[in-house]
């Protein structure tokens, strides 16, 4: 397993270094997002190919992780390529000033470290030689399908909403976005819950619990929701009311604006 992990991490670092080189010319650091997703999806395929676990475990990891990474990378590429730099990255660039190039490089490489921690969800099942019981395989497949379909649906709803010129500066509250301020992030967290089901009984099974918890923490407390909502509060007047009525992550029926904000 160690050799596969080292190889994957080295490949991730190279991919992110190339993404950093691209942003030096384009001044659009947002292109790291599709590169990161594609690279992490590729790690799932590497784990499946180099793993020594049961064939069913490896097939699930390679297929599920690879398709997840492909869909997310295509979505992020479509969203970021040829468009202005994401406000979060633009804020970093302004804060770092003349050191932006150097700091951005190490920020990109930090994404590789995070990806390596998330990849535990791929490596542990891929090296688990126990065949999954049919129920566990079915549960894992249902979790993965619901998560990827839900995230794709939320992304599509937001893309269609923002494509309408009259919606500029407005808050999307259609579909999943009526029940969660960040349904795409919610389904992203759910996606990482599929792999621990296949790792039950494996020596390092506990490590597969790190990815969903890490992803939730990053999105809720670090670089996801806090930075994004700070920008949305400045750019969309109605967003404050939206925050008061709509769940931050888990889809939930909206409140009346006079009630206290949802946690």
Residue range 167-210, pLDDT digits in tens: 888 999 999 999 999 999 999 999 999 999 989 888 899 999 99
Q: How many domains does the chain have?
A: 1
Q: Residue 173 falls within a domain, yes or no?
A: yes
Average pLDDT on 60-89 reads 91
User: What is the secondary structure of the chain as a DSSP string?
Assistant: -HHHHHHHHHHHHHHHHHHHHHHHHH--GGGHHHHHHHHHHHHHHHHHHH--S-HHHHHHHHHHHHHHHHHHHHHHHHHHTTSPPPHHHHHHHHHHGGGHHHHHHHHHHHHHHHHHHHTHHHHHHHT--SPPPHHHHHHHHHHHHHHHHHHHHHHHHHHHHHTSGGGTTPPP-SGGGGT-S-HHHHHHHHHTTSHHHHTTTSTTGGGGGHHHHHHHHIIIIISSHHHHHHHHHHH-TTHHHHHHHS-SSS--PPPPTTSPPP-
Does residue 82 sit within a domain? yes
Q: What is the pLDDT of residue 227?
A: 86
Specify the pLDDT at position 153. 97
Mean pLDDT over the full length of the chain: 91
In this structure, is residue 254 part of a structural domain? no
The overall pTM is greater than 0.75: yes
Query: Is residue 258 domain-resident?
Result: no
Given a cut of 90, is residue 57 above it in pLDDT? yes
Q: What is the mean pLDDT of residues 74-82?
A: 90
Is 207 domain-assigned? yes
Percent of the chain with pLDDT over 70: 97
Confidence of residue 81 (pLDDT cuts 50, 70, 90): confident
Confidence at residue 65, expressed as pLDDT on a 0 to 100 scale: 97
For residue 259, tell me if it sits in a domain.
no
Average pLDDT of the segment spanning 150-167: 94
Predicted pLDDT at 258: 52
Note whether residue 250 is domain-resident.
no
Tell whether 166 is covered by a domain: yes
Q: Is pLDDT at 263 greater than 90 in this prediction? A: no
Q: Which domain holds residue 11?
A: 2-245
């Amino acid at each position: 397993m160690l050799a596969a992990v080292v190889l994957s991490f080295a490949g991730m670092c190279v991919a992110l270094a190339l993404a950093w080189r691209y942003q030096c010319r384009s001044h659009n650091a947002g292109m790291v997002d599709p590169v990161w997703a594609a690279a992490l999806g590729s790690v799932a395929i590497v784990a499946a190919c180099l793993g020594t676990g049961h064939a069913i475990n490896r097939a699930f990891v390679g297929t599920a992780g690879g398709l997840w990474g492909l869909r997310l990378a295509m979505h992020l590429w479509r969203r970021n390529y040829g468009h202005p730099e994401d406000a979060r990255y633009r804020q970093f660039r302004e804060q770092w000033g003349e050191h932006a190039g150097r700091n951005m490089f190490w920020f990109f490489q930090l994404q590789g470290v995070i990806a390596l921690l998330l990849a535990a969800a791929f490596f542990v099942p891929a090296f688990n030689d126990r065949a999954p019981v049919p129920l566990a395989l079915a549960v894992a497949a249902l979790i993965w399908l619901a998560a990827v379909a839900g995230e794709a649906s939320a992304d599509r709803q937001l893309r269609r909403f923002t494509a309408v010129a009259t919606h500029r500066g407005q808050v999307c509250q259609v579909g999943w976005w009526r029940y969660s301020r960040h349904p795409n992030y919610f389904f992203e967290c759910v996606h990482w819950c599929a792999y621990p089901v296949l790792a039950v009984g494996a020596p390092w099974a506990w490590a597969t619990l790190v990815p969903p918890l890490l992803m939730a923490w990053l999105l809720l407390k670090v670089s996801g929701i806090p930075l994004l909502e700070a920008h949305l509060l400045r750019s969309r007047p109605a967003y404050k009311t939206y925050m008061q009525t709509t769940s931050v992550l888990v889809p939930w029926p909206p409140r009346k604006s006079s009630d206290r904000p949802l946690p």
